[in-house]
Amino acid sequence: MVERLVVWLYGTPIGVLSSPNDREFFALAWLPDAARRWGDNSAILSTSLPIGDRFEKRPRRIKNFFDNLLPEGPSRAAMARMIRVSESNTFELLAEFGRDCAGAVSLLPEDETFEKDRDSGYRVLSTDDLRDELARIDVVPLGADPDDDFRPSLAGVQRKLLVGRTDDGQWSKPYGHAPSTWILKPDGNFPSAVNELTCLNFSRMCGMDVPAAELIDIDGVPTLAIQRYDRNGRDRVHQEDGLQATGFPSNMKYESDKGPSLRELSVIVNEFGNPNDVDELLRRTVLHVVIGNADAHSKNIAFLHQPDDVGISIAPIYDIASTVSMKPVDEFGKAREFSTKLGQFIDGIEDVNEVMYGNLVDEGVSWGMGRVRAGAIVKGFLDTAREAADANNTGLSEVLIERIERITVGR
């Protein structure tokens, strides 16, 4: 059993993670290399875990940050079964699967050094290999293969395969310290792949920062392939999601569960980022209302930490869908409704279908924006979205146009 894990960031050992008591609390002992490279109080790892902080007044923040690196729901349970531990045993899960995480964090045993080219690389996956990986996804989440030294973790509930891609477009499987560079998200109980790709493409038409994505077929299953924005080629780029940045645990991603509000995320941007990113946060908020994405929560927005930049920037859009357009079914194939309750409330409004122009402006004002500025951002995005919706020749076009018109009524 591993008792201590070294936290590596951008190839530098920055701390030693342990769980000395009952695994409820974690300890993080900073290593000198962290302060030497980035300085005391740097937020390079997380805005909630500045280098040098001893955390006596907020001990849960350490576990919250690292627990948020792991999947949720069935994927986490399956990972726990693979190594025969409780799914609540965050430390053991990280010890086994923390080599390839979101961002540039890697968790390694103390006797292992981070040499990205040592016993590392990619093995090309044939069509049959990819089909087999998909067939095992509920038992072996993320395509993990500890026997072949592929030990990844990635947050979220949705089923995924983590892969690499060769220069000529072939899918491949990483091993050792090699990072996954693409995420494959197959359809499940409802056709999410086409929906998400349509929303990504619409976002791009609206001028938003969106990673490369395409629709592929794996043994008859429509699958969204999306390039990881936290990778630059085969180099890791550090990121943290909204829960990690605010120090909340993984079970509080929704505001209705007392998780962080949009205003709390705006505080993070104002304190650590570029002021223009607050404008971007408001544009994202309008986008979610336009497409009818009720499931936009605090883990669906992330912040990038570049290796030589003390500040943060908002990461490209990911995990976006028009939930109001989805037609999910239960395990018996019976149709059910997707909730319209917002993951994060807007001006106190909890239903995505009830948010109007004035609510969006008021939300921006609550972040400290002037009303004129907030109004210009909301109007500007709606005008751009209207043009994009007119040119968006997909099944969502009518939904988008109708929603834009309804939002602007009474402005």
> Which tokens belong to 265?
């995320």
Three-state DSSP class for 27?
Answer: strand
The helix or strand, by DSSP H or E, that contains position 216, with its residue range, turns out to be: strand 213-218
In the 8-state DSSP scheme, what is residue 329?
Answer: B
Compute the distance between CA of residue 236 and CA of residue 231 in angstroms, rounded to an integer.
5
CA atoms within 13 A on the CB side of 96: 19
Q: Which of 295, 308, 309, 351 is catalytic?
A: 295
Residue 337, φ and ψ in degrees, nearest 5 = -90, 140
Enter the tokens of residue 128: 């049959």
In the block, tokens 């997380």 appear at 46
| Rounded distance between C-alpha atoms, residue 152 and residue 135, angstroms | 18
CB of 243 within 8 A of CB of 64? yes
Residue 132 annotated in active site = no
Please check whether residue 9 is in contact with residue 108, taking contact to mean a CB–CB distance below 8 angstroms: no
CA separation for the pair 80, 104 (Å, rounded): 23
Q: Judge residue 233's burial from the number of C-beta atoms within 10 Å of its C-beta, 0-12 exposed, 13-18 middle, 19 or more buried.
A: exposed
Tokens of 389: 């919706």
User: Catalytic residue numbers?
Assistant: 295
